[in-house]
Every structure is written in C-alpha cells, then in structure tokens.
Amino acid sequence: MRLYLSTSEFIETSEAIDLSIPLQASNENVRAWYVDPPRMEAVRANGFIGSIKEGGSVNFRDVFFNPHGHGTHTECCGHITQEVYAVNDVLKEFFYRARVITVDPMQLENGDFVVQAEQIAPFLTKEFSEALIIRTLPNTSKKKALNYSGTNPCYFDVEIVELLNEFDVKHFLIDQPSVDREEDGGELIFHHAFWSVPNNPNFGRTITELIYVPNEVLDGNYILEIQMAAFNNDASPSRPVLYKIQ
C-alpha cells in the first residue's frame, strides 16, 4: 500500500524494515541483566496437553520472559519512578519522522566504549527529529544473539540529552541493552536526565533498547512506526519498523 505524506512524498507499507529482535525460547535469544533465556512451555493441566506434537488438540504455551532483558522493548519514565506507569498509556501515536545515524563508539581511558554528543550532533535535523535511531559499530548479526550480562556494553554520554532536548527528540532508539553504563551504582544518569525524573517527569518520551539495524539500511531520514504489545507495564516488547520516504 502506498501512503502519501505530502503531494510529493510517500511510503510503501509493503517495504517495511523491521528493527526488532524476535523473542525465542533458546539460548540464542539476546539477553542482558543476568536473566535466564526465555521459556515457552506447553500447559499441562487436568489431562490437557497444550502441544499437538505430544497429542494435544492445540499448541497452548505459557511464555516466561523479561521485557527489559529479553529483546527489543520500549520503555517510559515509569521505568525509574516510584509509581509504575504503563508505557502503553504514554505512547498514543505510532508514526514519526525519524533519523538513522551510525556511530563508532569512543573508548575512554578506563576501557569503556561510549557514544558522545559530538559524534551525533552534526547529523541531527529539525525536520526529522521526532525519533532518533542509533546504530553502533561494529554492527554484525551477532548482536541478535548476544548475552550482554557482565560485558560492560557500550553506553551513551549524558550530554547527548541536551542535544535531544534542543531538537525535541521524543523517542530514542538504540541497539544496546541500555543508555546507561551496566554497572553505575543504580544512578541511571541518562535515564533520569532524559525523562527529567524526579523533578518533572516527561510522560511524552520513550526509550527503545536492543534493536537491530541491518547494514543495508542507509543513514538518513525515514518514517518510523513503533508497534507495541499491549502491556500495562513500564516497558513492553516492541517492533520498531522503518519506511523509506519516496
């Protein structure tokens, strides 16, 4: 289907680019924060077996997973507030003008790899600033199956928040497990600055983590759709989708 953005711009919905990492019951499922792999288990009760392979009439499985630790997810300020606000109450629109940027994180003296504000500033534009999508290097398909726990993954300098504020970025999407350092004593500096918690919580912003941007996707301007599972939780599994502007 062709959807027109203006008299001269349109997107083809049949050419969607999926940035999500699917959930699977396997050790190959991407994970972080020391969670075990997801589980999908056939329900067994009162003689009922939720598995056709085992003789049941349908496949009927319980799914055990953690939104933050088991794949692509979108979170709201409820992630760091005393009251747990639901991300589905925050995200009311789903299509945004977005910018894709590729960054090679800088290595600090302590060995940490960090994305700095100066690396992304030259590529931001006012017209396509509703959402910012960061692809970090190296970018291999291994990202879709990594266990990030205890590896001190790349994170993002808090000075980036000032840029996001300047360009009125509402949705920040990254291919790492967190915007903050894995071990930071619970400070979560970037999270707090981005959402202005606790002083003035910003309910209109989201962070999406553990995406994967294929290498064939060029840097530039796109239309982003954030598809969400309807969870009443601070974070929900999500499926960010890009559309080329034609």
> Domain locations in the chain?
2-29+66-244
Is the backbone peptide bond immediately before 177 cis, with ω within 30 degrees of 0? no
Predicted local confidence at residue 76, as pLDDT? 97
Selected residue with higher pLDDT from 141 and 3 = 141
The residue assigned the tokens 């840029």 is 163
State how beta strands 171-174 and 39-42 pair.
unpaired
pLDDT in tens, 137-196: 999 999 999 999 999 999 999 999 999 999 999 999 999 999 999 999 999 999 999 999
Longest CA–CA span in the chain (Å) reads: 63
Predicted local confidence at residue 38, as pLDDT? 98
Predicted local confidence at residue 6, as pLDDT? 87
Q: How many residues does the chain have?
A: 246
Output phi, psi for 12, to 5 deg: -105, 115
Predicted local confidence at residue 219, as pLDDT? 98
Cβ(11)–Cβ(245) below 8 Å: yes
Predicted local confidence at residue 3, as pLDDT? 84
Average pLDDT of span 68-86: 96
Comparing CA positions, the residue from 178, 90, 105, 165 lying closest to residue 135 is 105
Instruction: Evaluate if residue 7 carries a pLDDT over 90.
Output: no
Instruction: Evaluate if residue 5 carries a pLDDT over 90.
Output: no
Average pLDDT of span 79-85: 95
Tell me which H or E stretch contains 190.
Answer: helix 189-195
Instruction: Evaluate if residue 61 carries a pLDDT over 90.
Output: yes
The residue assigned the tokens 């990030």 is 148
Cβ(235)–Cβ(90) below 8 Å: no
CATH architecture of 2-29+66-244: 3-Layer(bba) Sandwich (3.50)
Average pLDDT of span 194-216: 96
State how beta strands 17-18 and 48-49 pair.
unpaired
The rounded mean pLDDT for the chain is: 96
C-alpha distance from residue 158 to each of 3, 48, 57, 89, 105 (Å)? 37, 52, 53, 26, 14
Q: Give the helix, strand, coil percentages of the chain, each rounded to 5.
A: 15, 30, 55
- What percentage of the chain exceeds 70 in pLDDT? 100
Q: How confident is the model at residue 237 (pLDDT cuts 50, 70, 90)?
A: very high
What SS3 state is found at 77? helix
